Amino acid sequence: MNSRSFLAGLLTCLASVAALAAGVESVRPAQIFESGLKKEDFPRWQQIGSNVYIYEGLHALDPTGAVFTTVTLVVVTNEGVVVVDGQGSVPASESLIARIKQVTPQPIKYVVVASDHGDHTGGNAAFKTVYPEVVFIGSPVSQQRLAKSATVLTRVVTDRETIRLGGTEIQLLSLGRAHTGGDLVAYLPDSKVLFMSEVYLRGLFPAMRTAYPSEWLATIDQALAMDVSLYIPGHGFTDEPAAMKRDLVESRKAIEYVIAEAKRLQAAGYPCESAANCPAADKANWGPYAEWTARTSQAPVALAKVYQEIAGKLPD
């Protein structure tokens, strides 16, 4: 072997090692302490584009003791503000509103419910208190779930809806059912930013309390096929674009792994009637995802949901 061939072979090996290193091991954990951060470092405000921001509040403490972020997208225009996903309590959303007021005197005109789970909607009453004319938008599923809440949805997105405000276009899209079943994403075509809400849980073990596991995979595929420069999760940190896309792919692999493991356990005869009664969880092998944030609390929930899917008992 000549020196040129040896060098080419060495470079190929190094490239393979780098590719492996960019897999599961390199996914940034959602747990804030593993990133060298403290509770006192939050909430955080990050500008990701021209008049486009993300607000990172803290999720309620997970049963495992993990602490991670709940992410809100904020789009500021000279005709008003659009918020996509609030925070989990009134005080938390009040803090979000106060931070927005530091950037602009414009009112919040729209609050988009991309995830109807309480950690994203529990503080929505704060928006109504400060801005009585605010319009709440979400999917038909979310509209039904929040029908008895203090902030009912008055505008519904069945497939896609476009908000045009102050020269800015925000596309609200239903790419398919995923984490909640009423999932929406928000796309900014000018900056090619896609806020995925809980369709993308970065560095979190797949949470499936109201999920549609196999459909979730297809929904992520739809997102990956779009012309996107930056994918933003509903939980977890936002870093540089390449890492965000890489970790979205790995998040999809984690969901796929959970589905495959549940099918193996079900075929082996291990029962899982519910998250609270799931002997199969003790037999599970979570492989590269065993140390992902909230795995202990979320694994039985995920198994029960996949078992439900296998049995054809997911809600319509």
Tell me the CATH number at 126: 3.60.15.10
Q: Is the pLDDT reported for residue 38 higher than 70? A: yes
Confidence at residue 16, expressed as pLDDT on a 0 to 100 scale: 31
Position 147 in a domain: yes
pLDDT of 69 > 90? The answer is yes
Instruction: Say which residue, 276 or 17, is predicted with more confidence.
Output: 276
Q: State mean pLDDT over 210-236.
A: 98
pTM of full prediction above 0.95 = no
301 falls within a domain: no
pLDDT at 11 over 50: no
**Is residue 311 in some structural domain?**
no
Cβ neighbours for 20, distance < 8 A, ≥ 6 positions apart: none
The per-residue DSSP string of 99-146 comes to HHHHH-SS-EEEEEES--SHHHHTTTHHHHHH-TT-EEEE-HHHHHHT
pLDDT of residue 14: 31
The arithmetic mean of pLDDT across residues 291-305, rounded, is 97
Beta strands in the chain (DSSP E): 44-49, 52-58, 69-77, 80-84, 108-113, 135-138, 155-156, 160-165, 168-173, 185-188, 193-195, 230-232
Residue 149 included in any domain: yes
């090692």: which residue's tokens?
Answer: 17
Query: pLDDT at position 72, please?
Result: 98
pLDDT band (50, 70, 90) for residue 83: very high
Cβ contact 106:119 at 8 Å: no
Residue 90 above 80 pLDDT? yes
Is residue 6 predicted with pLDDT exceeding 90?
A: no
Q: Is residue 278 part of a domain?
A: no
Instruction: Specify the number of domains making up the chain.
Output: 1
Residue 61 is classified by DSSP as: P
Q: How confident is the model at residue 23 (pLDDT cuts 50, 70, 90)?
A: low
Tell me what the mean pLDDT of segment 41-70 comes to: 94
Q: Residue 10 pLDDT > 60, yes or no?
A: no
21 pLDDT band (50/70/90 cuts)?
very low
Q: What value does the mean pLDDT take over residues 277-301?
A: 97
Asked if 182 and 116 touch (Cβ cutoff 8 Å), the reply is yes
277 within domain boundaries = no
Q: Which domain holds residue 127?
A: 24-240
What does the pLDDT average to over 122-136?
98
Radius of gyration over alpha carbons of the chain, in Å? 21
Report if residue 314 sits inside a domain: no
Within-domain flag for 249: no
> How confident is the model over 282-298, as a mean pLDDT?
97
